[in-house]
Every structure is written in C-alpha cells, then in structure tokens.
Homo-oligomer: A and B are copies of this chain.
Amino acid sequence: MRAPTFDLTLLRTLVAIADTGSVTAAAKRLAYTQSTVSMQLQRLETQLDVSLHERAGRRLRFTPEGDRLLAHARRLLALNDDAWSDMQARQITGDLTLGIPEDYASLLPSVFAYFHQLYPAVGLTVKCGTSAHLVEQVKAAELDLALVTRQRNSPGGDVIRREPLIWAVGINQQPSLSDPIPLALYSPGADVFREVAEQALQGAGRDWRVAYTSQSMAGLAPIVTAGLAVVVVTRSMLTPSLRPLDDSSGLPALPMIELALHRAPHRPSEPARRLGELIREQLAAPSEAL
C-alpha cells in the first residue's frame, strides 16, 4: 500500500526509445546494453500493467498509452532536470567581477537578477569603464569577465551580438549638418564609437569637429538634446529624447558594431563560466526586433 512512483530512469529510456525509434539506438545513447533497455521497457509495462509498444515488422511503434506516458515522461524529466540543476547551482559559490561599458549598464539588470536567483551564493561585482580599459583589466586578470563594444571582426573575446550604429540628434532639434559636423563624443581614445564615426566621416570626405566630450553617454545627453551636436549610438541605446537620423540626413552610413565577451586569461572559475553563458543566452537576441 505504498504510493506508486515512477522510476525516472525508466522514463528516461522511454524517451530515448521514442527519440531514436529503436531499442538498440536508445541503448547506445544511454550507454546501456541493448538487453537492459529492452528489460527497462518491459519493467515499465509490468509496473503499469499496460502495453506501451507494439511492433510493425521490425519497426517499433507506441500504443496510445505509450504516447500518453511519453508526454508525462517528458514533463517529469524536464522538472527533474530543472530541480537537479537548481540544487547544483545553489552549491556554486565564489566571487566574480564583471566589467561593462557604462552605457550598457541599463541592459543588464535583469540578467543580474536572474543570475542571483540561479546562483545565490555567488558574490557578483560589476565595474563600469570604457571598452578599451576593460579589455586591459581582463588581460591583467583584474576582471573575470568584460562585456565590451568593438569594431566588426576585431580579434579577442567571443561575439555576443552585433548591432547597427546610428547617428542621433535631440528629439526636437535640427542641428546643422554642414561641415564641420559638430560631434559629441566619449573621452578621446577610449571609445570605439568614436573611431567608427571618424573613420566613416573621413571615408566620406567630410569634415568634423569634436564639439563635446564626456566619459559616458549620460554626460553627453544634455548637449545632444539641446541640439548642439550629433552623437553616435546603437539602436538599443536610443532614449525618448534622441531622434535617429536616416540616410537622407546626408551623413555616411555607419558599420555594425560588435558586443563581445572577454574572459580572463586563466581558466575561468565556475561562476564566471555560468555568468558568461547566461549573458550569451540573454543577450543573444540578434539586435532585437525594431
């Protein structure tokens, strides 16, 4: 009179049989012998007192009851795997430092929250800085991970996603777009956006002047909103106070930019590995639908 419980191991082989369509193939996949898989299937049928499969020639087919159990099995195993990895995840401890460009800080909070839920025992520190600076810190192992922007096909790190760069101005402004173009830029030398913009203008034979510089986008915002300069941003960085310029503006098209993840030279710690994977998963959206 004990409550009947499924043996999840048996359900897993059932799923394998369904996936591969054959007992032998399932055995190979699960690293069992063929006879074991055969008997496991039998055992399931005995326990439930139902025939789950039938044989049409040498092809194996499931009965309606088999199909039904299969559906239950997938649900149960999914839940089992989630539970298991959750229990393992809570065991992962350590400290971890991630570097991101200041302007991307707004993109990550949900990722951080999710990460903390999955790995509550990991202490995560986030440091902001320019992409160039962050790369150096990663190389010096002062950071475990760094998410940076860079020009297309630059070396180093793994590309997380690519985004188009665009020109933008204040929402209600129509700044003069005659040479020299007034640019609002990040602090000199540190920023990829700046390089890209200057290369594009130079390629188009245009002239420009750096009207304002700042350490971050936040510092540039008032200048641009006031219509005093043009700025370069990605689509995901557009705010309500910015208006994107299209081709008709006469400014040269800007290339795509890459968001890349750099890892410290030493073998990554387990927390670092996990956060890296999470960032990849969460940000992998191909430059988000407009």
Residues of A within 8 A of B (CB): 1-9, 12, 30-31, 48-50, 64-65, 68-69, 72-73, 75-77, 79-84, 86-88, 90-91
Contact = CB atoms under 8 A, between A and B. Distances in A.
A68 B86 contact: yes
A5 B68 contact: no
A33 to B, nearest CB: 13
A83 to B, nearest CB: 4
A178 to B, nearest CB: 64
Copies of chain A in the complex: 2
Nearest to A77: B5
A65 B79 contact: no
Which of A49, A80, A88 is packed against the most chain B CB atoms within 10 Å? A80
Main secondary structure of the interface of A (DSSP, over half): helix
Contact of A80 (B64, B76, B83, B90): B76
Contacts of A64: 90
A50 B5 contact: no
B3 A5 contact: no
B75 A87 contact: no
A81 B4 CA distance: 8
A31 B1 contact: yes
Contacts of A84: 4-6
A87 B48 contact: yes
Nearest to A73: B83
Contacts of A2: 30-31
A7 B6 CA distance: 9
Contact of A8 (B6, B31, B91): B6
Contacts of A79: 72, 75-76, 79
A86 B65 CA distance: 10
Contact of A69 (B12, B49, B76, B83): B83
